């Protein structure tokens, strides 16, 4: 069957194959929801192989995913789901992308640390004692799960009530989604610890299948979706990023991130 380009994202291309999709991973890289005009050789293949690895582990855990088949070197076949806008979703809708991103954080880093420094998140909200001075790279007392929009032009953090309204999830479905995200992250931690890595945080995307059962979609556990540190260097007091965070930090240092966010804030 001839494949038809369905969507060209920042780093992936989706091709329509009828009831299935082919995801092709490109060598593009994006930070802060903007594509950087530089290609990284073999990045697409690497991310695809990482995604396949974690999907296969999820299947062994009994977690549903959209993954069907790996197409070397950098593509995968996946189940096709509908993209519904929030106003189209009802409590009976099936086989659609849940329009949320689930971000699970285990350490104080990235945008979480930015919000802590700005005083927008108090220590108590993260499980620390009131008045505790939070340091960059500090392990969180408990995983901190956040939810943001998925289909808007830029990601926007949501409280639980707004997340339920936008997604059409029932409260028990929302809780199930969070449980799946935590199970996956625990598996990532178990898998990478013997390899000298720390899983700092990561994001997951979910969908409902044709029976309205939750399944994991897109990819996770990759150097794009997640943040990893070198454990030996971390134990010595250094933070060596082994993920896209290295590129994010560069664009923070140049001032690009501040200028970009100021422009977005100004409309």
* pLDDT tens digits, 77-95: 999 999 999 999 999 999 9
Q: Determine the topology of domain 4-265 in CATH.
A: D-amino Acid Aminotransferase; Chain A, domain 1 (3.30.470)
Q: Looking at residue 33, what is its pLDDT?
A: 86
Question: How much of the chain, in percent, has pLDDT values that exceed 70?
Answer: 100
pTM of the full structure:
0.92
pLDDT band at 1 (very low <50, low <70, confident <90, very high): low
> With 80 as the cut, is the pLDDT of residue 247 above it?
yes
Structure tokens at 242: 């082994």
> With 90 as the cut, is the pLDDT of residue 173 above it?
yes
4-8 β-sheet, strand order: 4-8, 12-16, 20-25, 75-79, 67-71
pLDDT band at 3 (very low <50, low <70, confident <90, very high): confident
């Amino acid at each position: 069957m001839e494949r038809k380009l369905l969507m060209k994202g920042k780093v992936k291309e989706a091709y329509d194959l009828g009831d299935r999709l082919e995801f092709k991973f490109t060598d593009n890289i994006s930070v802060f929801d903007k594509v950087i005009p530089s290609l990284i050789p073999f990045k697409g293949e690497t991310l695809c192989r990482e995604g396949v690895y974690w999907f296969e582990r999820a299947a062994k855990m009994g977690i549903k995913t959209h993954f069907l088949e790996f197409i070397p070197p950098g593509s995968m076949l996946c189940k096709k789901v509908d993209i519904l806008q929030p106003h189209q979703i009802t409590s009976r809708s099936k086989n659609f992308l849940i329009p949320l991103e689930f971000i699970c954080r285990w350490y104080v880093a990235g945008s979480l640390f930015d919000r802590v420094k700005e005083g927008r998140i108090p220590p108590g909200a993260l499980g620390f004692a009131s008045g505790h001075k939070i340091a960059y790279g500090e392990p969180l007392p408990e995983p901190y799960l956040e939810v943001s929009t998925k289909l808007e032009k830029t990601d926007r953090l949501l409280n639980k009530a707004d997340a339920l309204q936008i997604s059409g999830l029932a409260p028990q479905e929302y809780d199930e989604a969070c449980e799946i995200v935590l199970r996956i992250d625990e598996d990532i931690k178990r898998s990478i610890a013997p390899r000298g890595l720390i899983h700092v945080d990561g994001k997951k995307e979910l969908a409902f299948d044709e029976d309205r059962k939750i399944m994991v979609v897109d990819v996770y556990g990759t150097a794009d979706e997640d943040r990893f540190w070198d454990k030996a260097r971390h134990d010595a007091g250094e933070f060596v990023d082994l993920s896209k965070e290295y590129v994010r930090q560069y664009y923070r240092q140049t001032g690009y991130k501040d200028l970009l966010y100021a422009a977005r804030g100004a409309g």
